[in-house]
Amino acid sequence: MKFSGSSLLTKALLALILIILPILITFVFSYNKNKEHLKKSVLDDLTVIAEAYEGQVYQYLEMSKRRAQDFSTDGHIRAEMKRFASGDKGASRRLGEYMDREKLVLDPSLARIAVVSLDGRIVASTDQNYAGTDVSTEPFFMAGTKGPFITEHDLGDASGIIIIAVPILERDKGGRTIGALVNFVRLSGLTALLKGEFNRDLGGIPGSKGKRETMEVYIVNRDRLMITASAFVKDSILNTKVNTLPVDECLRGAKEVAAFYGNYRGVEVAGASMCLPMLQWALVAEADSAEVLAPIDEMFRDALVGGLISAALIGAFFVFLYRVVIRRLVTIVSATSRIAEGGYGALVPVETRDEIGVLSESFNRMSLEIKTRADLLRESEEKHRTLISNIPDVVWTAAEDGQVVFASANVMGIMGYTPEEIYADPRIWFSSVHPDDIEMVRRAYSDFFSMNKVFDEVYRMRTKDGRWIWVNDRATAAYERDGVKYTDGVFSDITEKKLAEERIERLNRLYAVLSRINEAIVRVRDTEKLCEEACRIAVEEGGFLFAWIGVVDDGTKSVKPVASSGACAEYLSTMDISVSEEPAGRCPAGTAVSEGRPVVCNDIGNDPDMAQWKERALECRFGSLAAIPLWRGGKPMGAMSLYSGVQGSFNEEDVALLEALAADISYAMESIESERKAKTADEARRELKLKYEDLANNLTVGIFRTTWGDDARFIEVNRALAEMFEASSREELQEMTVSSFYCDPAGREEFLKKLDRDGFVRGEEAELKTRKGRRFWASVTAVRKAQDNEVFLDGIVEDITERKNIEDQFRQAQKMEAVGQLAGGIAHDFNNILTALIGYGNLLLMKKGDDDLVRSYSDHILTLSEKAASLTQGLLAFSRKQVLNPQPTDINELVRRVEKIFKRLIGEDIELTASLCAEPLVVKADSTQIEHVLMNLATNARDAMPGGGRIAISTEAAVIGRDFVDAHGYGSPGRHAVIVFSDTGEGMSEEILKKVFEPFFTTKGVGKGTGLGLSMVYGIVKQHNGFIDVASNPGAGTTFRIYLPLAEEALLHAEPEKFLVRGGSETVLLAEDEEDVRNIAKTILQEFGYRVIAAVDGEDAYSKFMEHKDSIDLLILDIVMPRKAGNEVYEMIKSVKPDMKVIFTSGYPSDLVRSKGLAGSRDFISKPVSPSEFLKKVREVIDR
């Protein structure tokens, strides 16, 4: 039964219940609230107690830990530990007795004390039974040697202890750990603590509540066993298991809990826990629920008595209310019901003059007024129905969800539906709206109700017979009835008006297209651009989706698109239109061209002529199209096709306008074609001239025309010439005289003389300069011409600077090669002579070495010979042809050696400083040659500072990257040792710097310099795969930087191979064309026991080999000999005796050796050579 339909009596009873119910609810709520408050208060008190005991436990453990730490610092314990470690076996007993006597008595809770060594064995204990026990695997030992550690331990006899371990630190050696001290504390101490023996103030609930008789505090270990005595269970320590909520939460997640629960005795208790995570203990304070919640029962009795008294008073009031108020109001309600049923004029009796009596009189007056108004309303409704039935628009009423609840009868004339059909289908209105308009209509109708917007929309609706009509639908206000929102509205059929507006709009667009295309015809004079412009205007101004123009290809008879615009441009890629009778020609465009008439397709989806392209056209959302032929010379030559997104877009009126448009385009295309054909020959010549001018401007050589004479100026120049002379423009070049660009005025005069004499000059080389002063070499070709009494020059200029540089480099290379060949020849003769000198000098030492005078002379001969050998090496270094002896060399050590020599060489008026790299700089180098390089640089520096100065030598390591190589044009990437040699001398100009490494170039006076010094330096550095750089300015000194590739540092420490000169008895064939060299070599070999067969040339060597081939063990062949070279002799001998051993010798440089095919031979001796090296190689090859 709904509350609104209940009687007044029912409502009064319900009111009574509603008054009593809150009282009951209040009673229950207050009881529960007080009960919960009491529970919370009890739990808070127990939490405070648990926290207090937790602090006491921590204090107790901290006190026990400090006592252990105090014991560990006892000097006597440390001393006995050291004695035990030193082998004193009695130390264990003494230490145990000491701790038992002096330490154990200090704390009754201590069970025993033990000292553990670092290997995990108990050294001493107050209980000697434990001495020597291995505890190395116990956690308290492993942790206690690192720092204080506390844990609880089960002794296995229903008792337990707390183990406190601390490290024993040695006092005098930085606190080194020498062992651990362990106190074993009885759990009984914790029981005493929790019973309040250490603090009598703990043990009850604080405040005015008094002490609880059932309260107890106990501790549970990680195994859920009670480790303190229970107040209710005997022998509870390590015997009683506790699986209560607080214990579980503490041990599983270190979560502290205060709650009511069943405890280990099975009794409901209030309890609070504190977690001791370090020991994995849970401390619990509990009291029985029955004791702590006793005050609740008293509260329940008091509340119940008060509630019963209140209920009695309320019942008495209800009886009074019924008699005085409810009964009389029921009479008024009954009369109201009669009026509602149509019994207008019903009256009620007036019994009193109180408020209900006044209400009865007012009701009687209202009843009579309702009867009068009801009569007037019936008359008004009749007039309203007559008015609605006679207006042309449809009047409607609809709910917020779109259901029409009223429609005037004339809706049938517009929509074809009767009002009853509309009422029967709630969705009929929205389902009749056009799909393209439905979203707009729904949104507007929704906004009308939700945002109080005016509903006034124009849209399309489908009638009952399937036609689409345009309507104007309006509604202005919404109202609510029975909880549902409604609105009243009117809609009108505006189809004819809408079609007329669309026709006018369409015609206006077509006229605008016609006008804009005619403007383009006047403006654009290119057929293709005109077609593109026409298509663009048709799309942008005419509202068409797509437009294209195609022209017939006379060769293939197909229509080729020349312009298009709009969406879906790729549509044309699917078209293959022909003017033939093939199916491809039957599309609208092909038909329009072949038949010379407009072709319209107002329904692309159903037109058979569009079957081949229908699918693609519908994808592009094309609804209809029109193809209009274009004409040339009275014949169709193409077509313009226009596509609309709506079906039925083209009628006869539209087609007539499009034909006029096509005629204008056709005329314009014919006109443009005529203009194109009418180009004059003069225009063609201008185009040709422009073409040749463009060609001239794009050439890389300069082209010019100048006036004649000494003050000639440029008349015409191309771009390349302006760039060549670094002019900002050709006009700038034309403002200057030609002679101003010549470096040598005499060269200009000679150039003009040749032109005047011969009329032309071909390939004349001249040094010119640019506008910015940069010099360059050019090749000039010019011809002298006369025209209209004026003389001028035409010609070309080519920049040949790079070619000249290459020619200079080639000439320099030829010069170096020639000098190198000369040096090589001189070196060969020197080397042969030196070989004899060195050999005889060594023989003299061997034979007469005991004679001091002979030894002195011999040493001088050998020293001078070595200097002469160094000279020949210098000659070869200059041409980079000497044979190096590269060894691992530390550049720092090499500089230290030559530093001493420099001080004698440069004199006292020149200061010498050396700054060497801290790390070794090891390179593979011939140290003698590098010393020669530095000596040469020092000599040149001394000569550049006649008045004194400073020389600085430094070394460093550098990493050469690809960027450095690209920027400088020399070098190779990698790590290099760098020798920096600087002086404060006179310096050099830029011109001198360019020639400083050229042979025979010197700045010294006659007789003071050969010009070979720096050439040799350059050659030696290059032979070491390095490079040298020089920087200098006049008056600012000179700096040389020598870069040598770094070798592995380990090579520096390689021990030189020791060799003891040994002779032999083998037979050696010696072939040498120089008699002195042959004789000394033969003598040396014979001195050391070898049998020697000497030959004077190649033929002689081969002949003697064939004579003694079975006895010869080794060949020693000079490479260059008359009548047959050494390598040729060896090839002939090898064909006879393939395993014949050979040593080649030569005084020629290495390039000649390479030319003989012996570059990689390890059995090669370069002359001059000492007898010991010579004998070493002979022994080495024979023994191999």
- pLDDT, one tens digit per residue, over 140-198 is 888 888 889 888 876 555 467 889 999 988 876 667 888 999 999 888 888 888 887 76
Averaged pLDDT for residues 16-31: 76
Other CB atoms closer than 10 Å to residue 591's CB: what's the count? 21
Residue with tokens 């390591």: 957
Pairing of strands 1141-1146, 1164-1166: parallel
Q: Does residue 1004 or residue 1022 have the better pLDDT?
A: 1022
Judged against a pLDDT cut of 80, whether residue 498 lies above it is answered with no
Assess if residue 4 is contained within a domain.
Answer: no
pLDDT digits (tens, 9 = 90+) for 34-87: 878 888 888 888 899 988 888 888 888 889 889 988 888 888 888 888 888 888
**Which range scores top for mean pLDDT: 723-727, 996-1000, 1140-1144?**
1140-1144
pLDDT at 210: 44
pLDDT at 690: 61
1 assigned to some structural domain: no
Indicate if 594 and 480 belong to the same structural domain. Answer: no
Number of domains in the chain: 6
Do 68 and 137 belong to one domain? yes
Rg (CA), the chain: 63
Instruction: Please report the pLDDT score of residue 1002 as a whole number.
Output: 60
The pLDDT assigned to 182 comes to 93
Between CA 437 and CA 472 the distance in angstroms is 13
pLDDT of res. 159: 61
Distance, CA of 1071 to CA of 1081 (rounded, Å): 10
CA distances from 577 to 553, 573, 594, 629, 784 (A): 11, 11, 11, 14, 64
Residue 209 · residue 45 · CB < 8 Å: yes
The residue ranking higher by pLDDT, 1039 or 824, is 1039
Closest CA to 212 of 171, 272, 136: 272
pLDDT of residue 286: 92
Domain check: are 895 and 996 in the same one? yes
pLDDT bucket at 681, cuts 50 / 70 / 90: very low
- With cut-offs at 50, 70 and 90, classify the pLDDT of residue 939: confident
195 contacts: CB under 8 Å, gap ≥ 6: 203, 229
In a domain, 290, yes or no: no
If asked whether residues 452 and 488 sit together in one domain, one would say yes
Least confident stretch, 23-37, 132-146, 325-339: 325-339
Q: What is the pLDDT of residues 886-932, one digit of tens each?
A: 778 888 888 888 777 677 667 778 888 888 888 888 888 877 778 87
Q: Verify that 905 and 1031 share a domain, yes or no.
A: yes
User: pLDDT band for position 1008 (50/70/90)?
Assistant: very low
CATH for 1122: 3.40.50.2300
Give me the pLDDT at residue 201, please: 43
356/401: higher pLDDT: 401
Say if residues 217 and 53 touch (Cβ distance below 8 Å): yes
Distance CA 988, CA 720 (A): 37
Pick 475 or 789 by higher pLDDT: 475
Pair (1041, 1162) in one structural domain: no
In this structure, which long-range contacts are made by residues 121-130, counting pairs with CB atoms below 8 Å and at least 24 apart in sequence?
Answer: 123/81, 123/84, 123/91, 123/92, 123/95, 123/179, 124/80, 124/84, 124/91, 124/92, 124/93, 124/94, 124/95, 124/96, 124/99, 125/96, 125/99, 126/96, 126/99, 126/100, 128/93, 128/96
Distance separating alpha carbons of residues 205 and 214, to the nearest angstrom: 12
Q: Could you tell me if residue 15 is inside a domain?
A: no
Q: Which of 263-272, 475-484, 930-939 has the largest mean confidence?
A: 263-272
C-beta atoms surrounding 710 within 10 Å = 11
Query: Between the CA of residue 729 and those of 700, 712, 719, 1059, what are the distances in Å?
Result: 16, 19, 8, 78
Which residue's structure tokens are 């020669």?
A: 932
pLDDT in tens, 279-301: 889 999 999 888 888 777 677 77
Q: Is residue 1149 part of a domain?
A: yes
pLDDT at 803: 78
Q: Which CATH number belongs to the domain containing residue 402 in this structure?
A: 3.30.450.20
Range 323-346 average pLDDT = 70
Are 706 and 795 in a shared domain?
yes
Confidence of residue 268 (pLDDT cuts 50, 70, 90): very high
Residue 1137: predicted pLDDT:
86
Give CA–CA dist 133/127, Å, rounded.
Answer: 12
Task: Please report where in the chains the tokens 């006659």 appear, as a residue.
Answer: 1006
pLDDT of residue 1049: 52
How far apart CA 180 and CA 131 sit, in angstroms, is 14
Among candidate residues 747, 779, 799, the one where a domain is terminated? 799
Residue 483 clears pLDDT 50, i.e. is over it = yes
Same domain, 141 and 164: yes
Q: Examine the pLDDT at 885 and tell me if it is beyond 70.
A: no
Between 484 and 13, name the one with better pLDDT. Answer: 484
pLDDT digits (tens, 9 = 90+) for 573-630: 767 777 766 655 567 888 888 888 898 888 888 887 777 777 788 888 888 888 889 8
Beta strands in 903-1003 (DSSP E): 910-915, 922-925, 949-960, 974-983
* Sequence-separated (6 or more) residues with CB below 8 Å from residue 37: none
Task: Give the model's pLDDT for residue 1017.
Answer: 79
Q: 263 lies in a domain? A: no
360-392 b/e (C-beta count within 10 Å ≥ 16 → b)? beebeeebeeeeeeeeeeeeeeeeeeeeeeeee
Residue 809 lies in a domain: no
Q: Which of 437, 470, 493 is the last residue of a domain?
A: 493
DSSP string, 895-917: HHHHHHHHHHHH-TTEEEEEE--
Confidence of residue 1149 (pLDDT cuts 50, 70, 90): low
Phi/psi of residue 260, nearest 5 degrees: -100, 135
Identify the domain boundary among 755, 772, 799: 799
| Position 262, amino acid | G
The CA distance from 1050 to 1181, in Å, is 28
Q: What's the confidence (pLDDT) of residue 913?
A: 85
Please give the pLDDT value at position 987.
81
Which range of residues forms the domain containing residue 109?
Answer: 61-191
pLDDT at 1160: 44
Question: Per DSSP, what are the bridge partners of residue 728?
Answer: none
* Secondary structure element (H or E) that encloses residue 488, with its range: strand 484-493
Bridge partners, 479 (sequence order): 486
Contacts of 51 (CB under 8 A, 6+ apart): 274
Same domain, 476 and 609: no
Range in 369-383, 563-577, 995-1009, 1010-1024 the model is least confident about: 995-1009
CB-based contacts of 707, cutoff 8 Å, min separation 6: 713, 715, 790, 791, 792, 793
pLDDT confidence of residue 188: 80
Question: For residues 123 and 139, what is the distance between their CA atoms, to the nearest angstrom?
Answer: 18
Does the residue 960 lie in any domain? yes
Q: Is the peptide bond preceding residue 1168 cis, with omega within 30 degrees of 0?
A: yes
Whether 413 and 444 map to the same domain: the answer is yes
pLDDT at 622: 86
Q: How many CA atoms lie within 13 A of 97 on its CB side?
A: 5
pLDDT value, residue 1162: 55
- Written as six digits, the tokens of 153 are 């331990």
Q: For 874-878, 927-931, 960-964, 1019-1023, which range has the lowest pLDDT when averaged over its residues?
A: 874-878
Average pLDDT of the chain? Answer: 79
Structure tokens at 121: 């064995």
In the predicted model, what is the mean pLDDT of residues 313-326? 70
Q: Nearest to residue 313, comparing CAs of 535, 29, 20?
A: 20
Together in a domain, 661 and 600: yes
pLDDT of residue 319: 72
pLDDT digits (tens, 9 = 90+) for 956-973: 988 887 777 665 556 678
The burial class, CB within 10 Å (0-12 / 13-18 / 19+), for 897 is exposed
934-950 burial: b if 16+ Cβ within 10 Å, else e:
bbbbbebbbebbeeebe
612 in the same domain as 512 = yes
Retrieve residue 39's tokens: 């529970």
Q: Which residues contact 273 (CB under 8 A, 6 or more apart)?
A: 50, 246, 247, 249, 250, 256, 257, 258, 282, 283, 284, 285
